[in-house]
Amino acid sequence: MSFFGFGQSVEVEILLSDAESRKRAEHKTEDGKKEKYFLFYDGETVSGKVSLVLKNPNKRLEHQGIKIEFIGQIELYYDRGNHHEFVSLVKDLARPGEITQSQAFDFEFTHVEKPYESYTGQNVKLRYFLRATISRRLNDVVKEMDIVVHTLSTYPELNSSIKMEVGIEDCLHIEFEYNKSKYHLKDVIVGKIYFLLVRIKIKHMEIDIIKRETTGTGPNVYHENDTIAKYEIMDGAPVRGESIPIRLFLAGYELTPTMRDINKKFSVRYYLNLVLIDEEERRYFKQQEVVLWRKGDIVRKSMSHQAAIASQRFEGTASLGEVRTPSQLCDNNSRQ
């Protein structure tokens, strides 16, 4: 970024000390594109230098101080004027004075707390970034660099299977079972569906993965449902006593860990939606919440502190969806 004025301009660049070795991760931007950013975890140190290159070496650059900040913030799209910061660290690099030649300033934020995962959604964005500022009397010179943070979790101690029944009285009675209630992002959902009573002509059956993003509080709560995946289980009429296996690989889909009440601003939850369609195009469905979590690919020595923190923060319960009675299903026909 360049600043022009008083005959001098300066190029500001933020360079990480471990840029060559640090892993990068793809992350979706607001416009839906994917870009790669340096990847960090909770508890890791963020260090590097701020480089200032003067475009006119024979002229000086006066300033009111130079600083760098590490910021974690949440931005709600319907309230863009307010940025909610949950991490804000500042390092002063230079006192007010003047710069007569190009130079670099070292910085280090030690064992930085990064409690939440980076996230870009329909109505909210959670981002971490470094911001270097050269304070000027008229216009500050500002340079920002985004990073991505992933939150890791350990294997949950309790991970019971999900077993539920869905029925329409004297018409349909099925039982479905999933092997777990908590899955890591590269996991496989394994299950079975049993048809105990079939008096409706079912022509199609599928499982959808639905992401529900909730933002705001009180009367200003917004829900956004996004169907991440559709998995066809059956195409044709089932018969009584038939069982159909389910095997759904999660690795191919764009998923994030489950996020609950992040800084009291938003939540992201995932549901498995079992959908049946009869020959008259009526839709019957049953939703079940599951918890998604991120497993570390490679365990490094520097990650031991992060893993300990992550294991303490992992929420180990998945709430079961409300079970509707057969009469409720029959009255509503569960139509979508």
Residue type, 161: S
Q: Bigger pLDDT: 41 or 305? A: 41
Identify residue 168 by its one-letter amino acid code: I
pLDDT at residue 307 greater than cutoff 80: no
Give whole-number Cα distances, 177 to 18, 100, 196, 304, in Å.
Answer: 47, 71, 13, 36
DSSP helix/strand/coil, 237: coil
Q: Which of 107-116, 226-235, 304-313 has the lowest mean pLDDT?
A: 304-313
Let me know the angle formed at the C-alpha of 270 by 265 and 243, rounded to the nearest 5 degrees. 165
% pLDDT > 90, the chain: 52
**pLDDT value of position 333:** 40
Q: Is the pLDDT of residue 17 over 80?
A: yes
Q: Of the given ranges (12-16, 33-37, 143-147, 150-154), which has the lowest mean pLDDT?
A: 150-154
Whether 208 shows a pLDDT value over 50: the answer reads yes
Does 191 score more than 80 pLDDT? yes
Say yes or no to pLDDT of 310 above 60: no
By the 10 Å C-beta count (0-12 exposed, 13-18 middle, 19+ buried), 31 is classed as exposed
Query: Smallest Cα–Cα separation from 163: which of 179, 150, 147, 139?
Result: 179
**Mean pLDDT calculated for residue range 93-102:** 91
Say how many Å lie between the first and final Cα of the chain, rounded: 51
Identify the pLDDT of residue 238: 76
Q: What is the pLDDT of residue 328?
A: 38
pLDDT of residue 167: 75
The token duo for 29 is 């931007």
pLDDT value at 198 more than 90: no
Give the model's confidence band at 3: pLDDT under 50 very low, under 70 low, under 90 confident, else very high: very low
Question: Alpha-carbon dihedral of residues 199, 201, 207, 212, nearest 10 degrees?
Answer: -80
